[in-house]
Structure 1
Amino acid sequence: MTPPDRSTAWIDRVNRELDAWLPTADARPAPLHAAMRYAVFNGGKRIRPQLCFAAGRVLGLDDDEVAPIAAAIELVHCYSLVHDDLPAMDDDDLRRGQPTVHKAWDEATAILAGDALLTLAFGGLAHAGLPPTVMAGLADAAGSAGMVGGQSLDLAFEHQAPDTELLEAMFRGKTGALIRAAVELPARLGPADPAHHEALAAFGDAIGVAFQVVDDLLDVEGTTETLGKPAGSDIEQGKATWPGLNGVEAARARADALLQQAREALDALPPGPSRDDLAALGALIVRRSF
């Protein structure tokens, strides 16, 4: 499965939006702003913004309308990685093959850079004049009922083994909430068919869980060179993972089942190239390792 033809243009579009939102690296305080830009422009694949643009196209929106949402979601994602890498969390030295922010600068700068990226996400949406429901949706996805809550559960599971149902509930928060938001929030820009809105949310939910199942598989089967971060770190830290609970083959089967569930959700959307692009991105997420 190859990326949609529009992927390169979408990555370029969100990068231009992010560049416009972020302070220049030499603006005072320069170390903080340099660290923020380092965290954002470090080779990320922009999966969430691509999903956002693809969902927007399905809804008949143009890329400029969707760009602020795509940028805000990516800023929240980047902030979460900066904090996730800290010694108090996963204590990782590498991210996308480069030193993590707390290694390239220091822990205090990394904390502040993450704080500033999160704040900028909501400030950017406000300055773009987007509806309050968009900001509320992102807040729900990023907060204690979503990504932050999922991360809290992930840390708790280092000391208390969950069952598969509880593990996937953590996945839906830690990873899935922001992916679901990427495909669901564009529907809040204007009147969308409720069935289409529901279909996008269901697609995002399935792909979000599948993303983390595959991430767990990559930790088992990948290398530090291919992952751009330490391989085997989840096992080393005693984290609960899907293959750890159920085995590698069962994890692959679960990822396949979630991809099929996502494809079925798309059946409620109008057929055409835009829906095909969204389906292709979902397949790329699930097939990125096997």
Structure 2
Amino acid sequence: MRYAVLGPGKRVRAALVYAAGLACAPHGRLDATQLKSLSLAASAVELIHAYSLVHDDLPCMDDDDMRRGRPTCHIQYGEAMALLAADALQPLAFQQLAQMPISPALIVQSIHVLSKAAGSLGMVGGQVIDVANVGNLLELSQLQQMHRMKTGAMIEGSVVLGAIALGANSEVRQSLDTYAAAIGLAFQVVDDILDVTADSQALGKTAGKDAQANKPTYVSIMGLDASRKFAEDLYQKAVDALLPLGQSAQRLRELADFIIRRHY
């Protein structure tokens, strides 16, 4: 479990939790209780993300032997132990949310958000579509729906959890929802671009896996240049959504810049 969670990684989802919380905080400052809530929420999304990566790398899924620049969990510990470690990480995420020092109603809301983002209507459901369509030519709208679920749902959920932890009002939540939807989709577009333009050392995982597996991607459907333009358009939509939040959303802008403008 520690190997899966505490190794190298970008921690983008956790960073989004903190950044969303800062965007909702008065004058962009957090007190100790707010910081604890955000830390627990950030831990929860990272635990879900880490478990999903362990499962993704298994021979029955993507069958990969490298993750985050080192052997995948099942290569290091065997398939059975990797599967069990990932299984244990998932409930641990909800244990983190249950400990947040916020109202019981907000805790329930947080658990609902994360469970929906991670489950059949979100990450797992998107993965099902992905596995079921290897070798198939998807329409662009179908590809976008798959990635909104597979990748976007957890990114959106991370932003929402940060807002819930700070008790954000509906107006702020609307801006954050628009930002998160755009940045969540853009994250996958950039991943698809990097899969064909970056090497394995830069990625920290095996480059070219999507093409080798004959998976539908933005690059295979739209082409490389159009995919880059689409990513930039999504970036602009994300940062425009933050305008009403002013300077308090600076960290979210910086994360958008990091996500969209990774080397490609």
Deviations 1:205-248 (A, max 9, x none): 11011000000011100101111111101000011100111100
Q: Could you tell me the percent identity over the aligned residues?
A: 45
Deviations 1:59-93 (A, max 9, x none): 11542221111000000000000000001110000
Task: Answer 1 or 2: higher relative contact order, Cα 8 Å, separation at least 6.
Answer: 2
Distance in 2, matches of 1:193 and 1:217, equals 36
Distance in 2, matches of 1:152 and 1:113, equals 21
Match of 1:30 in 2: none
Give the alignment of 1:33-72 within 5 angstroms: 36-60=1-25, 61=30, 62-72=34-44
User: Which stretches in structure 2 are left out of the alignment for 5+ residues?
Assistant: none
Amino acid at match of 2:158: A
Q: Could you tell me how far 1:181 is from its partner in structure 2?
A: 0.9
Distance in 2, matches of 1:191 and 1:113, equals 33
Deviations 1:76-133 (A, max 9, x none): 0000000000011100000011000010011111111111001100112223355110
Distance in 1, matches of 2:238 and 2:115, equals 24
Distance in 1, matches of 2:181 and 2:148, equals 7
User: Which stretches in structure 1 are left out of the alignment for 5+ residues?
Assistant: 1-35
Deviations 1:166-215 (A, max 9, x none): 10111111111111111111222354221110111111111011000000
Q: 2:235 aligns with which of 245, 259, 264?
A: 259
Match of 2:184 in 1: 208
Q: 1:80 aligns with which of 13, 34, 52?
A: 52
Count of equivalent residues: 253
Distance in 1, matches of 2:132 and 2:56, equals 14
Indicate conservation of the 8 Å contact 1:207/1:262, yes or no.
yes
Q: Secondary structure at the match of 1:268?
A: helix
Q: Secondary structure at the match of 2:244?
A: coil
Indicate conservation of the 8 Å contact 2:182/2:234, yes or no.
yes
Normalising by structure 1, we get a TM-score of: 0.85
Q: Secondary structure at the match of 2:228?
A: helix
Normalising by structure 2, we get a TM-score of: 0.93
Distance in 2, matches of 1:58 and 1:191, equals 11
Match of 2:84 in 1: 112
Q: Could you tell me how far 1:41 is from its partner in structure 2?
A: 1.1
Indicate conservation of the 8 Å contact 2:19/2:162, yes or no.
no
Amino acid at match of 1:144: S
Q: What CA RMSD, in Å, does the superposition of the two structures yield over aligned residues? A: 1.2
Match of 2:205 in 1: 229
Distance in 1, matches of 2:220 and 2:35, equals 40
Q: Secondary structure at the match of 2:48?
A: helix
Amino acid at match of 2:21: G
Displaced runs of 4+ in structure 1, greater than 3 A?
127-130
Distance in 1, matches of 2:161 and 2:195, equals 30
Give the alignment of 1:236-255 within 5 angstroms: 236-255=212-231
Indicate conservation of the 8 Å contact 1:172/1:208, yes or no.
yes
Amino acid at match of 1:169: Q
Amino acid at match of 1:280: E
Q: Secondary structure at the match of 1:170?
A: helix
